[in-house]
Amino acid sequence: MNINGKIIVVTGAGSGIGQALSRILSERGASLVLADMNEDGLNATLTSLKHQDQAVTVVGDITKAATRKAINKAAIDTFSGIDVLVNNAGVVNVGPLSETDDKALKLMLNVNLLAPMQLTRDLLPTLKKSSSPTLVNIGSMFGDIAFPLFAGYSATKFGMRGLSDALRRELAPEGIKVTYIAPRGAKTGATQAFEHLIEPMKMKLDEPEVVAASIAAAIESGARSSYPRGLERLFVFAQRIFPSVVDNSIIAQLKSLKS
């Protein structure tokens, strides 16, 4: 797909990966509908774009029907449609499941998994009118390799991967492509929640711009999925074929953290 001239919706566009992706897409000539509940962040994203006149912002919570309706209306009123929906918005809570309260669990489920389902459903009638309709779901390596202390987050990202596989098959007869992106952790504000785990758990973090570039490349190539280069790909293979090997490795890291 040639991004130039495409109408692209990006959720979670007010910070981190969403902000970096918005900049890249604008540089490549896309018209953008940017959504986030952080108005200041959205304004910062907008002012950083190469083509500010080809972008519109929607401030609101995507777990709310009114916000999802506003996103669809903004796309139609401003650009007459939608070609690509990027479900990027997400939240993370870190810690033992036994110490995680209902509010944190519900927030992750609602933002990371339920809202993408709802937004996709609500925008499908508009998306189907495009000549090159594409759905892009931003998951995580935690959607393949589940980490201790990230149980709730990993569960939502496993769900996002399953959602992507199901919709790829469900929407194929209608010509809608579905791309699943599984980035490593990115150096964003959310990283502060687990800074103390990065070294002992041997996590590798990428700059948001690196992740954003890989997302843009996946959109352009029409990729089924996109994973980072490096040992993580081998771990994904090992997770599916020799899960006990990955179990032992990660459990050893957790034990070293507690010792």
Cβ pair 72, 83 in contact under 8 A = no
Cβ pair 210, 183 in contact under 8 A = no
Q: Answer positive or negative: Cα dihedral of 216, 8, 15, 160.
A: negative
Residues 6+ apart with CB under 8 A from 21: 10, 13, 86, 88, 211, 212, 215, 216
Catalytic residue among 79, 153, 194, 227: 153
The token pair that represents 30 in the structure block: 């896309």
- Amino acid 28: pLDDT: 98
Give the DSSP per-residue string, 106-161.
Answer: HHHHIIIIIHHHHHHHHHHHHHTTSSS-EEEEE--GGGTSPPTT-HHHHHHHHHHH
Tens of pLDDT, residue by residue over 123-157, are 999 999 999 999 999 999 999 988 899 999 999 99
Cα 15–223–126 angle (5° rounding)? 65
* Whether residue 180 lies in the annotated active site: no
- Amino acid 258: pLDDT: 64
Residues 6+ apart with CB under 8 A from 120: 85, 87, 135, 167
- b/e code 205-234 from CB counts within 10 Å (16+ = b): bbebbbbbebbbebbeeebebbbbeeebee
Cβ pair 129, 174 in contact under 8 A = no
Grouping H, G, I as helix, E, B as strand and the rest as coil, residue 35 is: strand
- Amino acid 111: pLDDT: 98
Identify which of 245, 45, 20, 231 has the alpha carbon closest to the alpha carbon of residue 138: 20
Residue range 7-229 in CATH 3.40.50.720: yes
User: Dihedrals φ, ψ of 201, to 5°?
Assistant: -90, 5
- Amino acid 91: pLDDT: 95
The residue extents of the domains of the chain are: 7-229
Tens of pLDDT, residue by residue over 93-102, are 999 999 999 9
Angstrom distance (rounded) from CA 198 to CA 38: 27
Cβ pair 202, 257 in contact under 8 A = no
Angstrom distance (rounded) from CA 139 to CA 36: 18
Cβ pair 14, 189 in contact under 8 A = no
> What is the model's pTM?
0.91
- Amino acid 241: pLDDT: 84
Angstrom distance (rounded) from CA 179 to CA 170: 13
- Amino acid 249: pLDDT: 80
Cβ pair 160, 113 in contact under 8 A = yes
- Amino acid 199: pLDDT: 67
User: Which residues of the chain are modeled with pLDDT < 70?
Assistant: 191-193, 195-196, 198-203, 258-259
